[in-house]
Chains A and B, each alone.
Chain A
Amino acid sequence: MTIPAGLSRAVLRARRDTGFLAAGVLPHLALVPVWAWAAATVARTGNWLLAVSVSAPLVLLGTPVLTAVQRARYRMLIGVDVPRLGAAPERWTWAAIARWLAATRPWRKIGYHLLLGPLLALLELLVLAAAAAGLAGVTGYAWAWALPTRIRPDRFGYLTQLPVCTVGGILLLCALPWTARAAARAEARLASGLLGPSQAQRLQERVDQLAVSRTDLIEAVDAERRRIERDLHDGTQQRLVSLAVNLGLAIATRPDLPSDAREVIEKAHLEAKEAIAELDDLVRGLHPAVLEDRGLDAALSGLAARTPLPVRLRVTLDERVAPKVESVAYFVISEALTNATKHANAMRAEVTVRQVGEVLRVRVTDDGLGGADASSGSGLTGLAKRVGSLDGAFRVSSPVGGPTTITAELPCAR
């Protein structure tokens, strides 16, 4: 006979949840003796001072310990992670202590252990009692069977009571997975609300995490571009140059070649040189080595000189900006110049890069056809995204008939 999967899952879950609830009873009741004693002392002697001076430190010392116990219970028994609050400050200045206290929200924790704890313990005990009663009811016949036969008739009506007990027990046990689950969930929610971070703290933390991961991502992408650039430079480009050199040597050193062979070699030579030029442009667009080495200003002169239209270049930088900013600025200008050449039929372009305070302002203007649209999934969309990845502002002004002006403002606070 096989047990249906659903049933075995429910049994396992109910066992896990009831175990979790059972483990909560003691820590939830831990502070009861403290305040019970304090209340009793006050009632007996009226000595407020003694009651408070003994119980308050106990509560204050007990709170972090109990919080750790609860956190472990949630994590280990039902896999709910109640995040820690406010790492301890590195230097204990008054301001740091104040910040730490504000971040750890101690009142809520004390409230949880002191006031809510007993109520939760009550709830846990109720569920456990229901489970125990269910088990007892279901096994009613076994209990009855264990009684000596002589006594059984004396228990009047046990034949009618036993089925009722059994059915009741079955019902209680059937309901147990849901009740235990509901109780565990309610507890988890309360705990993360009172022991964990507030919604605002949680969002703040998430934003911080996202900012860090975004930065990491940008840097990883840049590193990847550099790696590809280096691999192409050290491999394919050298191989192509070598090919062109060998063909050039063949042409230069073998004047005795038949004219048709010479023609073929010359054609191949030309093709190889064109391939080199194309690949150079492509690879340089990935991440020019000079950008890393000498900065934006140096890299832009190469870019502008290789653009097949006259480019006016004005770069005013106080100092080098962060590599990721340099890289995005270079990419914006490179793409804008490519667009001006390829799509806009521009006759001339102008590039200005200025650092104004903590913002790097990049502007590329061309006198082409205009009508460029950053929302149509063109290269401009990619630019807008890359600028956005640094929290920069990106604007395109391109009326039909031109001129087109692309502006990017990149925050570059050191």
Chain B
Amino acid sequence: MRAVIAEDSVLLRVGLIKVLEAGGFEVVAEAGDAEGLLAAVAEHQPELALIDVRMPPSFTDEGVRAAMEIRRRWPGTPVVLLSQYVEERYAADLLSANTSGVGYLLKQRVADVADFVAAVRRVADGGTALDPQVIAQLLLRRDSDPLARLTPRERDVLGLMAEGRSNAGISQSLVISESAVAKHINNIFAKLDLPVADADHRRVLAVLRFLGASRA
């Protein structure tokens, strides 16, 4: 799989390339700012763009804006945002259009190479990977109404679901059986009156919509 990397820290860029290559990606271009990134994506049409949120010139949310631009011009290009701090607002911007093929992770997650590669793969395959910290922020924003009806266990499951984990992943993470996970999920859907969608990541879509990430 061909990937493009945008990261202004040269030091970290080297590490990211190694990690992606270890995960079976081929890094076809690297950029230090949003402009270079867009040019690289236009040229290579990669199957993954890994983007740092803070880049020159203003070091705020260039990466988010570049990611949205990529999604607008080349729909379906999977993007993974990396950041020293993950902010729910950026996640909300990113997810407002579409939740498939989107990732937003803390930079330090790259250090857990196997997990990171798995998350990036998930995104490249059209899934979602959101950092637990973003989920925590989103949940915090919605400490009211129907969510209050969930049991703590159901909230845990919801959080992991929102991260984009599969039922198997959730069962591993919480050390419960897959059938228990399925039961929890059904309860959550019931309690939250969520509509049944037809795609595989409908759960994430629904959860995120509920969490208010889709507020434009």
Which residues of A are in contact with B by a Cβ distance under 8 Å? 230, 233-234, 237-239, 241-242, 244-249, 251-253, 269, 272-273, 276-277, 280, 283-284, 288-290, 292-294, 298-299, 301-302, 304-306, 311-313
Given A241-B107, A242-B11: A248 in contact with B140 (beta carbons within 8 A): no
A245 & B111 in contact (Cβ 8 Å cutoff): yes
A301 & B140 in contact (Cβ 8 Å cutoff): yes
| Contact of B114 with A by CB under 8 A | yes
Q: Which applies to chain A's interface (DSSP): helix, strand, loop or mixed? A: helix
B54 & A233 in contact (Cβ 8 Å cutoff): yes
B11 & A252 in contact (Cβ 8 Å cutoff): no
User: Contacts of A242 on B, CB cut-off 8 Å?
Assistant: 9, 11-12, 14-15
**Complex interface bits, B92-113 against A, C-beta within 8 A gives 1, otherwise 0:** 0000000000000001101111
Q: Give the contact stretch, choosing among B82-90, B163-171, B186-194, B197-205.
A: B82-90
User: Contacts of B180 on A, CB cut-off 8 Å?
Assistant: none
User: Contacts of A276 on B, CB cut-off 8 Å?
Assistant: 108, 111
Number of B residues with CB within 8 Å of any CB on chain A: 34
Given A239-B11, A305-B136: A245 in contact with B110 (beta carbons within 8 A): yes
CB interface residues, B 101-142, toward A, < 8 Å = 107-108, 110-114, 133, 136-137, 140-141
Whole-angstrom CA separation of A238 from B12 in the bound complex: 6
Least CB distance, A299 to chain B, in whole angstroms:
8
| Contact of B18 with A by CB under 8 A | yes
Q: Closest residue to A294 on the B side, CB-wise?
A: B89
A280 & B85 in contact (Cβ 8 Å cutoff): yes
Other A-B contacts than A234-B59, A238-B11, A311-B140, 15 sampled, CB-CB below 8 A, are: A237-B84, A244-B108, A246-B15, A246-B18, A247-B111, A248-B19, A248-B110, A248-B113, A252-B113, A276-B108, A280-B84, A289-B54, A290-B90, A301-B137, A302-B87
Q: Closest residue to A233 on the B side, CB-wise?
A: B84
Given A241-B108, A298-B89, A313-B140: A249 in contact with B11 (beta carbons within 8 A): no
Least CB distance, A267 to chain B, in whole angstroms:
14
Which residues of B are in contact with A by a Cβ distance under 8 Å? 8-9, 11-12, 14-16, 18-19, 22, 54, 59-61, 84-90, 107-108, 110-114, 133, 136-137, 140-141, 143
Q: Closest residue to A313 on the B side, CB-wise?
A: B140
Given A230-B59, A273-B111: A288 in contact with B140 (beta carbons within 8 A): no
Most chain B CB neighbours (cut-off 10 Å) among A238, A246, A273, A298: A238
Least CB distance, A334 to chain B, in whole angstroms:
13
B87 & A248 in contact (Cβ 8 Å cutoff): no
B54 & A269 in contact (Cβ 8 Å cutoff): no
In order of increasing CB-CB distance, the 3 nearest A-B pairs are A244-B111, A245-B15, A252-B113
